[in-house]
């Protein structure tokens, strides 16, 4: 029998992308789900996909709202516990960037972008987790944060997003160290490039996204292998499977406060490249 049968799971940002892929996987396990996002239509699509994956309507709660709205996240946790009686797993997946398409880079990008990115990717995670902890303590539950490999290397284009994910990684460590005393395990998955709507949500034109996926990330292409040694871009359920693994005490109890990189080798490739540059400097 699945570990998740009868367990209650909140997945933020489940109206699309990785969150949706994760919801579909949980839907096959007998878990009860709260799915959430700002877009009513795409949230409805996730709901339908969960039903198709085998859920019954009474096992899903749909809540529309913005994770940066404190009143909304209070409702998110309260209504989940009111409907299902408990909370076992919190997946802090909602996240975004705000692209600057005017050519500005790094610290030239306005602070308004910084504030919005930090609000979504860091502050909202602190707030939701604060609210969830008393309930997760009762069930000896788990928190899985969806971070990124962006928090590791230098990124001229997306300094604030990278900073936000580095902060989220430290938040994972801080929460894990504190909450394991309450029996709650906290970990994160740090994806590389995953095929989702992320760039469009951040402000990129949709047609350019499709072009990027086919030109840069065409499966098996030389271009793709340069950035992803595995030779293919990840799909939402590649990350969803890791989220379920980290949330399942029977599979991953011994993993506490870790950041699991899931990037098809992108980081080691970049590390190797920087190593080559360094060695050629000394040659
Ligand atoms: P998508 O844009 O496809 O999905 C993002 C989800 O987050 C949507 O459901 C969106 O819902 C929700 N969301 C965004 N902002 C808010 C907000 N303010 N309030 C409530 N919900 C919000 O992107 P991904 O699936 O790719 O992103 C999921 C996570 O994965 C993010 O944390 C991202 O940083 C991380 N990630 C993604 C990578 C990638 O290559 N795709 C790589 C590394 C990390 P709605 O639009 O309905 O509000």
Residues of the chain with pLDDT under 70: 271-283
User: What pLDDT does residue 3 have?
Assistant: 98
The answer to whether the beta carbons of residues 153 and 193 sit under 8 Å apart is no
Cα(228) to ligand 1 centroid in Å equals 21
Active site residue 160: no
**The predicted structure's pLDDT at residue 216:** 80
- Would you put residue 13 in left (φ > 0), alpha (ψ -120 to 50) or beta? left
Cα(39) to ligand 1 centroid in Å equals 12
The CB of 46 under 6 Å from ligand 1? The reply is no
Closest by CA position to 34, among listed 1, 96, 83, 69: 83
Closest residue CA from atom 18 of ligand 1: 66
**Residue range 245-272, pLDDT digits in tens:** 999 999 999 999 999 999 999 998 876 6
> What b/e string do you get for 162-198 counting C-beta neighbours within 10 Å, with b at 16 or more?
bbbbbbbbebbbebbeebeeeebbbbbbbbbbbbbeb
Residue 150 CA: which ligand 1 atom is closest?
43
Evaluated on CA atoms 85, 186, 60, 71, the torsion sign reads: positive
Q: Which atom of ligand 1 is nearest to the CA of 199?
A: 2
Q: Could you read off the pLDDT of 218-237 as tens digits, one per residue?
A: 887 888 888 899 999 999 99
Quick check: ipTM above 0.90?
Answer: yes
The confidence score (pLDDT) of residue 61 equals 98
């Amino acid at each position: 029998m699945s570990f998740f049968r009868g367990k209650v799971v909140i997945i933020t940002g489940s109206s699309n992308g990785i969150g949706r892929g994760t919801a579909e996987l949980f839907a096959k396990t007998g878990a009860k789900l709260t799915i959430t996002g700002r877009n009513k239509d795409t949230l409805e699509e996730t709901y339908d996909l969960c039903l198709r994956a085998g859920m019954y309507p009474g096992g899903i709660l749909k809540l529309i709202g913005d994770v940066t709205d404190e009143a909304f996240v209070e409702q998110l946790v309260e209504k989940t516990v009111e409907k299902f009686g408990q909370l076992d797993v919190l997946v802090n997946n909602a996240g975004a960037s705000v692209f600057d398409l005017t050519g500005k880079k790094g610290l030239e990008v306005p602070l308004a972008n910084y504030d919005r990115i930090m609000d979504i990717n860091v502050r909202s995670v602190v707030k939701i987790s604060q609210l969830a902890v008393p309930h997760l303590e009762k069930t000896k539950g788990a928190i899985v944060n969806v971070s990124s490999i962006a928090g590791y290397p230098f990124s001229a284009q997306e300094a604030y997003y990278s900073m936000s994910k580095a902060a989220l990684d430290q938040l994972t460590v801080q929460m894990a160290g504190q909450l394991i005393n309450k029996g709650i395990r906290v970990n994160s998955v740090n994806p590389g490039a995953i095929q989702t709507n992320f760039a469009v949500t951040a402000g990129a034109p949709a047609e350019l996204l499709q072009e990027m996926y086919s030109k840069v990330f065409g499966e098996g292409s030389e271009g793709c292998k340069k950035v992803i040694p595995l030779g293919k871009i990840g799909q939402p359920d590649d990350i969803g499977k890791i989220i379920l693994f980290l949330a399942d005490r029977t599979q991953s109890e011994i993993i506490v406060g870790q950041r699991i990189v899931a990037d098809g080798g992108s980081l080691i490739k970049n590390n190797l490249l920087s190593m080559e540059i360094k060695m050629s400097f000394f040659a």
